[in-house]
Amino acid sequence: MTTTQARRDARALKQSRVARIVTHLAILVGVVLSIFPFYWLVVMATNTTAEIFGYPPKLIFGTHLFENIGHVLAAIDLFGALGNTLFVALSCTVLVMFFDSLAAFAFAKFEFPFRRTLFAVLLATFMIPAQLSLVPNFVVMSQLGWIGSFQALIIPGAANAFGIFLLRQLAAGAIPDELVEAARIDGAGFFRTYFQVAVPMLRGGLAFLGIFTFIGAWNDYIWPLIVLVDPKRQTLQVALAQLSSIYGTDYGMVMAGALISVVPLIGVFLIGSRHFIANIAAGAVKG
């Protein structure tokens, strides 16, 4: 009896081990597919165009990265575009974090006339695709004299429904009513309570929103493409697209530019990745 039991256990163990190996293999195939384009980007950015075009093509890293970057710098003001993108993305991030958390705190912890109606309006704006207003927004920008300027990229998105909704959900649970009440009794006004009570308790959500906004602003393409009319004042995405349309077949050079546009983003993501992923998932499950 005990021997059959032991044999059965052994078989079950073996089966589960096989299942585990199959599971891991399947997951690894997916990981390879996810990572491969990044790998390929580095391969192309570090090889000469002739090597990339050869048959069979080169499949491993080369040694021509700096040479390729040199070609990019000779063709376009890559660091200027990098600086512009950094400025725009950071400005958006700071403004969104501030305005969204301020509104979220008011919605989550205070009762005021029309609160529900105003919040419903905010949610409804989610459904409007941004692309609907490309043409009229361009006209608005030209009336304001903002065509070609960075405030055209920064101001319209300085507060958004997504972040307010997200932080409101977090604030409702994370900030105890007693603390808000205690601050009021101590004579602290709304804004002092916001800075001294709400901001510290919303740190996690704010970090997530910051990374999310930064990545979104960094990647924005269609709007800067339309609004930034001066070829010398571009963001990285638009400059990169221009580089490729002019020097399309010089892969080594174009991919060196592409690599520079990707690396800072991956860096920001990896620094905050654990937290970032947990928050995206939580937002979707609650939403």
Partner 1 sequence: MTTSPLTTRRPVSALKRYWPQYLAISPFYILFLVFGLFPIVFSLYISLHDWDGIGTMKWVGLAQFQYLLVDPRFWNAVSNTFIIWFMSTIPMLFFALVIAVLLHQNIRSKGFYRVAYFMPNVTSMVAMALVFGSVFSDTFGIVNSALKSLSLDTVPWLTSDWGIKTTIAVMVIWRFTGYNAIIYLAGLQAISSDVYDAAKMDGAGTARIFAQVTIPMLRPVILFTVITSTIGGLSLFTEPQVLLGNTGGPNESGMTIVLYQYNQAFTQFDFGYGSAIGWALFVIAALFAAINWWLVSERTGTKKWGRTK
Residues 101-140 that bind partner 1 (CB under 8 A): 102-103, 105-107, 109-113, 118, 121-122, 125, 127-140
Residue choice 4, 34, 63, 117 for contact with partner 1 (CB under 8 A): 34
**Kindly report the CA angle at 168 between 162 and 169, in degrees rounded to 5?**
95
DSSP 175: S
Binding to partner 1, residues 201-240 (CB under 8 A): 215, 218-219, 221-222, 226, 236-237, 240
Close Cβ partners of 147 (under 8 Å, ≥ 6 residues apart): 138, 141, 227, 229
Count residues contacting partner 1 (CB under 8 A)? 99
- CA torsion angle 30 33 35 39 (round to 10): 150
CB of 48 to partner 1, least distance (A): 13
Binding to partner 1, residues 267-286 (CB under 8 A): 269-270, 273-274, 277, 280-282, 284-285
Which string of x and - marks every residue 72-101 that binds partner 1 (by CB under 8 A)? ---------------------------xx-
CB closer to partner 1, 1 vs 37: 37
Residue choice 69, 153, 209, 259 for contact with partner 1 (CB under 8 A): 259
CB of 254 to partner 1, least distance (A): 6
CB count within 10 Å of CB 233 equals: 17
> Nearest-CA neighbor of 234 among 110, 109, 136, 148?
148
CB of 108 to partner 1, least distance (A): 8
What is the spatial distance between Cα 236 and Cα 149, in angstroms, rounded to a whole number?
15
Q: Is 15 one of the binding residues for partner 1 (CB under 8 A)?
A: no
> Nearest-CA neighbor of 68 among 53, 48, 40?
48
Binding to partner 1, residues 164-193 (CB under 8 A): 164, 177, 180-181, 184, 189-191
Residue 73, classed as helix, strand or coil, is helix
